[in-house]
Structure 1
């Protein structure tokens, strides 16, 4: 039984480390080894290429165009580009109408090839100092583009990202689940940003110096690799939570699972194909961050399974182990209830949050299978977007 208790203990320690100890370690490292970065300003704002890939957005793309053209940024320094990734006829019609009015242009991909390929095509035409990426559904406040670009006045800064807020929470029991999970993720990202080594950007809104952003394989996740490529060149990567992209949440558990599955699968594949970042001899700090934040989080279902199974074999040893097992069973039952409530598009507080936690863990497990079996997630499926 000693081996079972060791398995249980190691799994609990690793899970706890990733979610609680790791962010605390970053805060301590920041306080001991890093000086506070001084804010700087441009004498003249840099030219930016502002891109948003689109496919079947339909009427939503109209709101995106209107929102983009209202951004408070000099028009002569803003190259607005909609990248049509084999977009639907309705989407193309709206884009062409906007292009004729001026203020933006279209880059066309006749064959759907995914976001990374679309961004690579835009980068080939980029002559700006800052490359800004947003999603076709993501809307920004007028002042947020300037705020996103301002840190680049420091030549050490390589990439900057904001956060995301879902606007349809009142209609969806799903969005609230992810919102609570995302708030916890924000704690980790803020901690990484304190030392200027953020390991993940928000795909809905980020900016990067184009010379750092080399997309060599469109099958990989460009959003995932963007901060790593900047960190590889010894640049600072920042998370600014006051820059908010407003987006729509998935309307069902199935859609949310599909999105999480795709995100994790692409992240796994991208990291494994660029495994140099996991080498502690080449990238001591970055590799530690990736193992602590990414790998351990992706291994969450393994830890949960080990904790549950090892505990199940020890319930007869003492009341302590029996109570722990009952707590775990209760946890999963609460998740099932949260799932049922989500089917009726209702919020259920902690029950919904537990369901999203379990759903994300299951997505991680399936993602490993996808990566090892070679499934291609470079192009979004319809379910993942709704």
Structure 2
């Protein structure tokens, strides 16, 4: 009994450690061995459609449009389009106020969701490069140039920019989000050297129009569409010098809801896109997806099983200090995570709370993905 419980504990601990650290260490190591390069041309200036998705964004739209109009890119080569997904506030009126400056409003009726709204809007575009942005994202002045210079390389199909946050140290959510995105962007840099990203930054990414794939309305496009680009034989890379800024979520409830929606959309997108990758024989991308995403989605299962195994070991093997220690450490960690709700200014409790939120969202997403249909729409208060 003891040996079985010990073996199970070790396997589960290894799975958890791999999900947390193994993938990033493996990717970093392999990226050092990679010889892939990117041909960048600073004077490469294709026609660009800058597409902003919006639902009830009256609080941010004017600032977003002024920021976009101020971007350093030839005015005759960039078309700014706002796709309003059935907005019911003053979003559309604000956009119409900028029509004299060349900004186009595309209104999609019926609240179809961000992915489907873009599906409909993109049919009419003729520009070479499409940039997807959100109404709340503020770009550095040179962000568009930094994105499109990579398309001078014919092997590049999609480019993800870098996301930073305005308020990344003002709350425990901000601090935890900063740490999480530093981790994610280190992975993106390494994956970019290996030719394959397993997801783009949703508020700042660019792609060749001819590669666009009409996606199901209920998938997360910044996760699913890069997979479809890879399935078409093109590279998806990370451009760390193309920077956009966003606000962080303000509390645990907002973060949980946002993470749940993103993870569920990712799982749905994975089920949709995996057969395409298999048909395209993109084995490297498939391995990356399982290593990076699937293992992380499964981590709450590993955590629950480890807790139960060590609990059983602590009571069944009363002489075992190991199982008692593991059980106590887990109990303390989860306790700190729960206390982080009430003491958010405490850094340790705050980070523990963020870890708990991420894995609770993953567990809930796993259950919901296989039990109910995912809504296509999004809430501007949490995303």
TM range (shorter): over 0.9
Q: Quick check: 1:341–1:348 contact (8 Å CA) kept in 2?
A: yes
| Residue deviations 1:161-193 (CA, integer Å, cap 9, x gap) | 122222134554322222222222222222211
Quote the offset at 1:41 in angstroms: 0.8
Q: Does 1:223 align with 2:226?
A: no
Residue deviations 1:201-236 (CA, integer Å, cap 9, x gap): 010110111111212422222221121011112211
User: More deviation in 77-86 or 370-379?
Assistant: 370-379
The equivalent of 2:62 in structure 1 is 62
Q: Report if aligned partners of 1:181, 1:353 keep a CA contact under 8 Å in 2.
A: no
Aligned to 1:109: 108
Q: Which runs of 5+ in 2 are unaligned?
A: none
Residue 308 of structure 1: aligned partner:
307
**Among candidates 338, 341, 355, match of residue 340 of structure 2:** 338
Contact 2:82 2:105 survives alignment (8 Å): yes
User: How far, CA to CA, are the matches of 2:170 and 2:40 in structure 1?
Assistant: 41
Q: Which one of the candidate residues 367, 371, 374 is aligned to 1:373?
A: 371
**Cα pair 1:278 1:290 within 8 Å, conserved:** no
SS at match of 2:139: coil
Contact 2:133 2:204 in 1 (8 A): yes
Which secondary structure does the structure 2 equivalent of 1:84 belong to?
strand
- After superposition, the C-alpha distances for 1:283-307 in whole angstroms (9 at most, x for unaligned) are 3211111111111000110011111
1:318 to 317, 320, 334: 320
CA distance in 1, matches of 2:142, 2:116: 29
Q: Do the aligned residues in 2 keep the contact of 1:85 with 1:111 (CA within 8 Å)?
A: yes
Q: Give the alignment of 1:249-268 within 5 angstroms.
A: 249-268=248-267
Q: Does 1:363 align with 2:361?
A: yes
Taking the aligned partners of 1:95 and 1:63, their CA distance within structure 2 comes to 11
> What's 1:28 paired with?
29
Structure 1 residues 31 and 88: alpha-carbon distance in aligned structure 2, compared to 1, 3 A threshold: same
Q: Select which of 347, 350, 360 maps to 1:349.
A: 347
Please report the TM-score for the alignment, with normalisation by the length of structure 1.
0.93
CA distance in 1, matches of 2:95, 2:262: 27
Counterpart contact for 1:258–1:383, Cα < 8 Å: no
1:121: which partner in 2?
120
Q: Report SS of the residue matched to 2:161.
A: strand
| C-alpha contact (below 8 Å) 1:254/1:383 kept by paired residues | no
Structure 1 residues without counterparts, runs of 5 or longer:
none
Q: SS at the partner of 1:106?
A: strand
Whether the 8 Å CA contact 2:113–2:378 is kept in 1: the answer is: yes
Computed over aligned residues only, the root mean square deviation of the Cα atoms, in angstroms, reads 1.9
Aligned counterpart, 2:142: 143
Please report how far the alpha carbon of residue 374 of structure 1 lies from its aligned counterpart in structure 2 after TM superposition. 2.2
Deviates more, 1:86-95 or 1:108-117: 86-95
In 2, the alpha carbon distance for the partners of 1:27 and 1:330 equals 32
Shift of 1:353: 1.2
1:235 is aligned to 234
Q: TM (normalized to structure 2)?
A: 0.94
Could you tell which deviates more after superposition, 158-167 or 212-221?
A: 212-221
Partner of residue 273, structure 1: 272
Q: Is the 8 A contact 2:19 2:292 kept in 1?
A: yes
Q: Using a 3 Å threshold, how does the CA distance of structure 1 residues 310 and 363 change in structure 2: closer, same or farther?
A: same
Residue 154 (str. 1) matches residue 156 (str. 2) = no
Instruction: Give CA deviations for 1:73-96 in whole Å, capped at 9, x if unaligned.
Output: 001110110001111331111111
Residues 67, 139 of structure 1: 8 Å contact kept: yes
- Equivalent residue pairs, number: 379
What are the within-5 Å matches in structure 2 for residues 195-206 of structure 1?
A: 195-206=194-205
Distance in 2 between the 1:183 and 1:369 partners?
29
Match in the other structure for 1:327: 329
Judged with a 3 Å threshold, the aligned counterparts in structure 2 of structure 1 residues 308 and 280 are, in CA distance, closer, same or farther, namely: farther
The runs of 4+ residues in structure 1 deviating greater than 6 Å are: none
What is the distance in 2 between the residues matched to 1:187 and 1:317? 43
